[in-house]
Structure formats: C-alpha cells, structure tokens
Amino acid sequence: MQQMALLRRSRPAGSGAAGTPAPETAADTTPEPAPRRRDGRRTPWYIGLPVTLAAILAVFLAGAHLGLFPSIPNPFERRTVDRSQPVLLRSIQDMKRFTGAQGNFQVIVDLDHEAAFLPSALLGNRTLYVAAGTVDAYVDLSALDKGAVTVSADRSTAAVVVPHAQLAPAALDVRRSYVYLQQRGFFDRIGDFFSGNPGNQQQVELLATQKIEQAAKDTELTQRAEQSTRSMLEGLLHSAGFTTVTVTTAA
C-alpha cells in the first residue's frame, strides 16, 4: 500500500490517465472566422459598401466646397439666371407738361400688426422700412386756352398766363429703399413659410408712398415749379425775338 501511494505521488503533474503527458497549449494562429448572422450565415462584404461610398462622397463634396480641389468645380456654387420675358410696350403718351421742381424724400415706416390677446412673440408682425422717393411738381401746358398767350402787333411784346403747378404721384426709389428690420411671431413665421406673405411688402410700400405725397404738399414744390416755368418761358420767348415778356399764373 505504501508503494502504491509513493507511485501516485511520484506521477508527474498533468499526465493523462494512461500516464501519457498532456499536450501543451500552443498559441492559436488560426484566423478568426468572418462574423456570422444570428441564423449562422456570414455577412456579405457588400453590405457596408453604400456607407463607405457615402462617406467618400461626403469628404469629396466638403473638399470641393472648401476649395481643396481647385481643378474641380464647386458643386455648391450658385449662379443667377435671368429668365424674364421681353419688355412689352403698352402705350405711348405725349407729355405736355413742364416739370419745374422735384423733391427728394425719405421716411421710415414702422408698421406693426398686433394681436389683441396674444403676445407679439406668438402672433404679430412688425416691419421697419426705409423708403426713399421723389415727387415732381409740374405745370400742364396743355391746359393753356386760346387767350392764354397774347402777342403785340409789332411782335415785340408777349404775355403768357400759365396754370398753377401740380404734384405728380410719388415714385419710390427701389435702389435706396430697403427693409431695415422685420420681426414676426411664431405663427406668422409658419404662415409666411407656406405663403411667402407678399402682401406685407406691398402694404409697407403703399404706406410709404402716401406719407411722401402728404409731405410734399407741405413744401413749396409747387411755388418753385411755377417760378421755374416762368423763367423757362421768358427765356424761350426772349430768344424768339420778343423784347418784353410777361408770364403770370392764372388766378
């Protein structure tokens, strides 16, 4: 019994049941198999191809946009194309009036559409519009009747009676007029997104035109136009050979 115990103690560790030594564990150099789906099949290599191509295309477009590829045109570059139709001449009118004065005006229109019970952040529209325009003052020479011009027998004296000057409608200068500030509420922004709200711009321009025309009435444009008309007619008749010229304004 003691000899069998000694034999068991003297048996080398790691030996098999038959006394043969167990093989040592070597480094596994076998390549790992391709990933498999849950059903046991391998994932095809072309599954990730669209993602790779999309990434390459994104890098290419970003480089072209930043100018990293000078020889390649920028795909994000915009150009302006004028597709307007030819201008159509509707009519021609003979102008028989003399513009003797012109006034240049500028006004800041502050148009605010407010809601009765909602804050302006939700519903409301405020526009600050800087408008520049002109108003002409003219004398209508076509209104002269037969007795408005009298000439002496020796053609040395002439007398002319001209009508009072009038104000023409105001004309906005689109090059000098612009929207300085525009504030819109949340619901107005949603509505403008679908409609564009072209009526608001037209309303502001119409209001600016009315204010300029009203301001022109409070100036001396008509008096300046009448004075310029008298000076023009006097010089014209003097050059025609008349020595004495009188130009007056109708009562």
pLDDT in tens, 8-36: 555 554 444 444 444 554 445 555 555 55
Residue 154, domain member (yes or no) = yes
Q: Domain count of the chain?
A: 1
Q: Find all residues with CB under 8 Å of 183, minimum gap 6, and list them.
A: 120, 124, 125, 126, 127
Residue 182 corresponds to which tokens in the numbers above? Answer: 């525009």
Burial of 162 (0-12, 13-18, 19+ CB in 10 A): buried
Residue 27, domain member (yes or no) = no
Instruction: Tell me what the mean pLDDT of segment 193-221 comes to.
Output: 83
Q: Classify strands 124-140 and 166-167 as parallel, antiparallel or unpaired.
A: antiparallel
Token look-up 């010089």 returns 235
More confident residue, 138 or 201: 138
* pLDDT confidence band for 250 (50 / 70 / 90): confident
* pLDDT confidence band for 52 (50 / 70 / 90): confident
* pLDDT confidence band for 72 (50 / 70 / 90): low
pLDDT at 187: 52
What is the rounded distance in angstroms from the CA atom of residue 57 to the CA atom of residue 47?
17
Predicted confidence (pLDDT) at residue 197 exceeds the cutoff of 60 = no
The answer to whether 185 and 124 have CB atoms below 8 angstroms apart is yes
Residue 29, domain member (yes or no) = no
Residue 61, domain member (yes or no) = no
Instruction: Tell me what the mean pLDDT of segment 135-144 comes to.
Output: 91
pLDDT at 5: 47
- Which amino acid type is present at position 30? T
| pTM more than 0.85 | no
26 CB neighbour count, 10 Å cutoff: 6
Residue 122 corresponds to which tokens in the numbers above? Answer: 């939700």
Structural domain harbouring 151: 97-249
Q: Classify strands 124-140 and 97-114 as parallel, antiparallel or unpaired.
A: antiparallel
Predicted confidence (pLDDT) at residue 191 exceeds the cutoff of 90 = no
Residue 223 C-alpha from the chain's centroid: 40
**Cα diameter, the chain:** 173
Token look-up 């080398």 returns 12
Asked whether the CA dihedral 144, 146, 148, 149 is positive or negative, the reply is positive
Residue 185, domain member (yes or no) = yes
Residue 62, domain member (yes or no) = no
Residue 215, domain member (yes or no) = yes
More confident residue, 98 or 127: 98
Q: For residue 237, which of 142, 165, 149, 164 has the smallest C-alpha distance?
A: 149
Q: Where are the beta strands (DSSP E) in the chain?
A: 97-114, 124-140, 149-151, 157-162, 166-167, 171-172, 178-184, 244-249
Residue 177, domain member (yes or no) = yes
What is the rounded distance in angstroms from the CA atom of residue 134 to the CA atom of residue 136?
7
